[in-house]
Structure 1
Amino acid sequence: MTLINIRNVGIVLSAPLFSKLNLVVNAGDRIGLVAANGRGKSTLLNLMTGKLEPTEGEITRARGLTIGHVEQNVPPALLDASFRDAVLLALPPDQAESESWRADVVLESLEVPEELRERPLRQLSGGWQRLALIARTSVNEPDVLLLDEPTNHLDLEKIAQVENWLNALPRDTPVIISSHDRAFLDATTNRTLFLRREQSPVFSLPYSRARAALDGADASDARRYEKDMKTVEQLRKQAAKLNNIGINSGSDLLVVKTKQLKQRAEKLEEAAKPAHLERSAGAIRLTNRGTQAKVLVTLEDAEVTTPDGTLLFRTGKQFICQGDRIVLLGLNGAGKSRLVSMLRAAIAEPETAKAGIKATPSLVLGYGDQLLADLSDADTPLQTIIRRFDVGDQRARSLLAGAGMTIEMQGKPVKLLSGGQKARLGMLVLRLTQPNFYLLDEPTNHLDIEGQEALESELMAHEASCLLVSHDRSFVRAVGNRFWLIERKKLVEVESPEGFFASVGGAG
């Protein structure tokens, strides 16, 4: 049964986002919506709800259809409401009064602890706020569910909760999920739409298999394009040759024939434009300065503690060696970020290093945290680069352009940039620091899939030594060659991350 029908839809906001989009949403569809940052995913969801009207084409919805839309941010008016009240407020007033149990059922299905239910949203983490938005939307039991970046700010346990909740929904409830989390899309979808400026392909497959099919189609498209461009070149050569003969002989027929050949070449060239050549959101490049040291960091049974001195775990005897890409695994609150901050301090200020942590003196640190706190909100990207590095204005502008920043963006305060733009600026800062050891805390948080894959490739290509914390299962699997797990107040090495992923219900 067709619930939403999108026909030849296009939209232009400040610039064209997409056109000629066709999509049918049927009962039971679980559709993954994939595109680079800023390419129109949120806009498409708003078109589906009717909040926006398309510039061209039409969208029809089944009569009486209710659509639940989980947006990315909590409305400011809700921040002082408790978790439970925020969910109740989504119901009509009379229903909220007589059927308040509905809120409790949803909170149970999302495994929200009792102690959090009466706490104001303002006091909760970004992950719990995201779950509150999901709960608010689902309490009304909509016919269609739209989720915009549902795993942002979620740790692996909460991602698993959302996966389990989605997979427990009635089978005929269609769900459209805009996400950059590849493992999450694989676990929750059965169709994939790759949103492109023109010709957005749809595959009846979850993300990874759909991506393989898309890559095959794009490769075929590229071969066709090369062949057509050779034909264009031959037509133009023939036209030039006939043109010369026509001019010398004064033949009107040859002049007409020349014009026809040129028109054929132009028409073929326009039609041959490859659909898969998308404008990049900006390159991500890293460097590896190198070091002669084989052992970069030694841990001699160091104690990792909370700021007030409570023991979280002991490291035992561990070594971080050149070429290691160590992924630090553990439940939320186990002490991952504390160990990262202790390592950072030991490298940047060896004299203040905690007992049991020793970094080789030749280490040059590249550090990136999930909040991008190393970037000053008040500075512009141009000021960020010029103040930190010995590069002139023109070189700085060129570097920023390569990272996907227009001249206009380069002059805006960092606080006005999107998460993806900030992430790419942060990666550029890392590259210019020229480190030989990377400490990365949730480096893919704000990156689209293109950016995640570029970061993976750079870390592998430069044989970068790094220790990283990430909830992105695809990234962890692609990059890690050693895995440390915090469990029972000890740091132990494990062969793979899969056991930990399965233990938190996130093995997808």
Structure 2
Amino acid sequence: MTFITLRSLGVTRSAVLFSNLTLSVNAEDRIGLVAANGAGKSTLLHCLAGTAEATAGEITRARGLTVGHVEQEVPSDLLDLSFHDAVLRALSPDRAESESWRVDLVLEELEVPEELRPRPLKALSGGWQRMAMLARVWVTEPDMLLLDEPTNHLDLGRIAALEQWLKALPRTVPLIVASHDRAFLDGVTNRTLFLRPDQSQIFDLPYSRARRALDEADAAQARRYERDMKTAGQLRRQAAKLNNIGINSGSDLLVVKTKQLKERAERLESAAKPAHRERSSGVLKLANRGTHAKALITLDDVEVRTPDGRALYRTGKLFLHQGDRVVLLGANGAGKSRLIAHVHEAIEADDRGDNGIRVTPSLVLGYADQTLGTLREAETPLDTLGRRFDIAEQKARGLLAAAGIGIDLQERPLGRLSGGQRARLVMLVLRLTNPNFYLLDEPTNHLDIEGQEALERELLAHQASCLLVSHDRSFVRAVGNRFWVIDRKRLLEVESPEPFFAAAAAVG
């Protein structure tokens, strides 16, 4: 059964987001929607949900189709409601009165703990707020689901639980999910749509295999274009040569032949399509000034506690050396960010030592937290660079533009920039700091796949030393060369993150 058909669909805002998109969404489809930040993923989902109009083309929906759209943001009028009441409000007044039991069924299905259900949404983590938005949509019993960045703010256990829940959905309920989480896309999709301004590509494959197929298709297109343009050039040179001979000899036959060669060259040039060049969100680069010190940080049986003083675990004796890219793993609430905070405090302390953490004097820190809290929302990007670095305005503008923060955004308060734009500003600040040690708490939270892959390449290319926390399995696998796991009040070093990932999936 076909649920939705798109024919030559296109949307243009200040620029073309996508065009000539033709697609059928059928029962059993699990479609991953992939594109850079700001490239039209959310816009396409709104078009499919019927809450936005396309600029061109048409959308045909099956008669009576209901579409459940889980958006990224929580509406402000829901924040004061309890988890339970926020979901109940998604039902019509009549259904809410007679079928309130549906809310409890959905909350059980999504494994929402009893103690969270009476709490107001504003008191819950971003991850549980995301689950509330999913519950609000699912309780209405939609025929198909649209999910916009559903793993944002979720820990590994909740990501695994969401994967299992989506896999268990009735196959008659199609799914379209926009996400930058590559491992999640591999886990829940069977088709992948790469959204582009022109020539969007759809593959009947999950993300990683589809990405390889896309790269091969783009390479083949580049070869065809190069071959066709080379052939056209040869035809034009032959035409020019025959034209000269024809003029000198007065041969009408050569004049006709010249015209034919030119026409063939024009047809080839007109039909030839250059290979797709992804519209970049900006260049992401890092730096590493190096140091002669071998051990950068020593943890001497540090006790990690909650802000209110409750003991979480002890680190034992651990060293972090040059070139170590240590990934800190643990369940949500186990104390990963607390250790990051302790290390940050020790580095910033005047004596470079705090509660058993010793820091080499030559260490220069590059720090980014998951809330992008190193930025000041009232500042502009230009203000941020001007406050922190001694660089001329013209150079600062060039650096910002190269990082994906255009002229129109450079004097806009940071609070009005997207998460992706602010994340790229943080990465630019890290680069200009020129550190020899990176302390990163969920650095990929706001980066699209292009940005994630660029960050991976930069950390590896510069042999950067870092301690990081991430719930992004693809990023952890690509970057980490040492792994510390918080396990039963101890911090243990393990060979691989895979057992932890498997345990998180089992719990989820």
TM interval, short-chain normalised? over 0.9
Tell whether 2:182 aligns with 1:190: no
Equivalent residue, structure 1, for 2:373: 373
Quick check: 1:242–1:258 contact (8 Å CA) kept in 2? yes
Residue 381 of structure 1 and its aligned partner are, at CA, apart by 1.5
Q: 1:434 to 1:32 in 2, by over 3 A?
A: same
1-structure distance, mates of 2:93, 2:295:
64
2-structure distance, mates of 1:35, 1:492:
38
Deviation per residue, 1:318-358 (Å, 9 max, x gap): 00011111000011111111111111122222426322100
Q: Please, what TM-score do these two structures have when normalized by structure 1? A: 0.95
SS of 1:351's partner is: coil
Q: 1:506 to 1:403 in 2, by over 3 A?
A: farther
Residue 26 of structure 1 and its aligned partner are, at CA, apart by 0.5
* Mean CA deviation greater in 378-387 or 235-244: 235-244
1-structure distance, mates of 2:302, 2:379:
37
Quick check: 2:30–2:190 contact (8 Å CA) kept in 1? yes
2-structure distance, mates of 1:267, 1:364:
59
1-structure distance, mates of 2:247, 2:51:
60
Tell whether 2:102 aligns with 1:85: no
Q: 1:310 to 1:6 in 2, by over 3 A?
A: same
Equivalent residue, structure 1, for 2:178: 178
Quick check: 1:343–1:357 contact (8 Å CA) kept in 2? yes
Equivalent residue, structure 2, for 1:437: 437
Pairwise CA RMSD: 2.1
2-structure distance, mates of 1:276, 1:441:
34
Q: 1:95 to 1:233 in 2, by over 3 A?
A: same
Residue 92 of structure 1 and its aligned partner are, at CA, apart by 1.4
Equivalent residue, structure 2, for 1:22: 22
2-structure distance, mates of 1:249, 1:434:
70
Q: Please, what TM-score do these two structures have when normalized by structure 2? A: 0.95
Residue 253 of structure 1 and its aligned partner are, at CA, apart by 8.8
Residue 237 of structure 1 and its aligned partner are, at CA, apart by 4.0
Equivalent residue, structure 2, for 1:473: 473
Residue 261 of structure 1 and its aligned partner are, at CA, apart by 5.6
Equivalent residue, structure 2, for 1:112: 112
Q: Which amino acid aligns with 1:112?
A: V
**What is the 5 A alignment of 1:492-503?**
492-503=492-503
Q: 1:210 to 1:91 in 2, by over 3 A?
A: same
* Mean CA deviation greater in 129-138 or 409-418: 409-418
2-structure distance, mates of 1:259, 1:374:
66
Quick check: 1:346–1:359 contact (8 Å CA) kept in 2? yes
**What is the 5 A alignment of 1:6-405?**
6-238=6-238, 265=265, 267-351=267-351, 353-405=353-405
Residue 413 of structure 1 and its aligned partner are, at CA, apart by 1.6
Residue 164 of structure 1 and its aligned partner are, at CA, apart by 1.6
Deviation per residue, 1:22-69 (Å, 9 max, x gap): 111111111111111111111111111122222221110000111100
SS of 1:505's partner is: helix
Residue 202 of structure 1 and its aligned partner are, at CA, apart by 0.9
* Mean CA deviation greater in 138-147 or 212-221: 212-221
Deviation per residue, 1:252-283 (Å, 9 max, x gap): 99888777766654553453333421211111
Q: 1:66 to 1:463 in 2, by over 3 A?
A: same
Q: 1:353 to 1:95 in 2, by over 3 A?
A: same
Q: Which amino acid aligns with 1:169?
A: L
Q: Which amino acid aligns with 2:341?
A: S
2-structure distance, mates of 1:72, 1:493:
36
Tell whether 2:409 aligns with 1:409: yes
Quick check: 1:159–1:506 contact (8 Å CA) kept in 2? no
Quick check: 2:352–2:358 contact (8 Å CA) kept in 1? no
Deviation per residue, 1:461-502 (Å, 9 max, x gap): 111111110000110011111000011111100111111111
2-structure distance, mates of 1:415, 1:255:
67
Q: Which amino acid aligns with 1:466?
A: C
Number of positions where the alignment pairs a residue of Structure 1 with one of Structure 2: 508
1-structure distance, mates of 2:108, 2:68:
19
SS of 1:457's partner is: helix
Quick check: 2:29–2:191 contact (8 Å CA) kept in 1? yes
2-structure distance, mates of 1:129, 1:40:
24
Quick check: 1:501–1:507 contact (8 Å CA) kept in 2? no
Q: Which amino acid aligns with 2:411?
A: G
Quick check: 2:352–2:359 contact (8 Å CA) kept in 1? no
Equivalent residue, structure 2, for 1:505: 505
2-structure distance, mates of 1:187, 1:361:
44
SS of 2:505's partner is: coil
Q: Structure 1 vs Structure 2: percent identity of aligned residues? A: 70
Q: Which amino acid aligns with 2:388?
A: R
2-structure distance, mates of 1:262, 1:391:
54
Quick check: 2:352–2:361 contact (8 Å CA) kept in 1? no
Deviation per residue, 1:171-229 (Å, 9 max, x gap): 22101101011111111111111111111111111111111111111121122222223
Residue 416 of structure 1 and its aligned partner are, at CA, apart by 1.4
* Mean CA deviation greater in 373-382 or 15-24: 373-382
Residue 132 of structure 1 and its aligned partner are, at CA, apart by 0.3
Q: Which amino acid aligns with 2:179?
A: S
Quick check: 1:498–1:507 contact (8 Å CA) kept in 2? no
Q: 1:95 to 1:288 in 2, by over 3 A?
A: same
SS of 2:358's partner is: strand
1-structure distance, mates of 2:391, 2:449:
30
SS of 1:32's partner is: strand
1-structure distance, mates of 2:236, 2:393:
43
Q: Which amino acid aligns with 2:153?
A: H
Residue 457 of structure 1 and its aligned partner are, at CA, apart by 0.8
Quick check: 1:195–1:201 contact (8 Å CA) kept in 2? yes
Q: Which amino acid aligns with 1:214?
A: L
Quick check: 2:327–2:480 contact (8 Å CA) kept in 1? yes
1-structure distance, mates of 2:265, 2:413:
46
Q: 1:245 to 1:497 in 2, by over 3 A?
A: same
2-structure distance, mates of 1:231, 1:507:
60
* Mean CA deviation greater in 43-52 or 270-279: 270-279
Quick check: 1:198–1:275 contact (8 Å CA) kept in 2? no
1-structure distance, mates of 2:418, 2:259:
49
SS of 1:504's partner is: helix
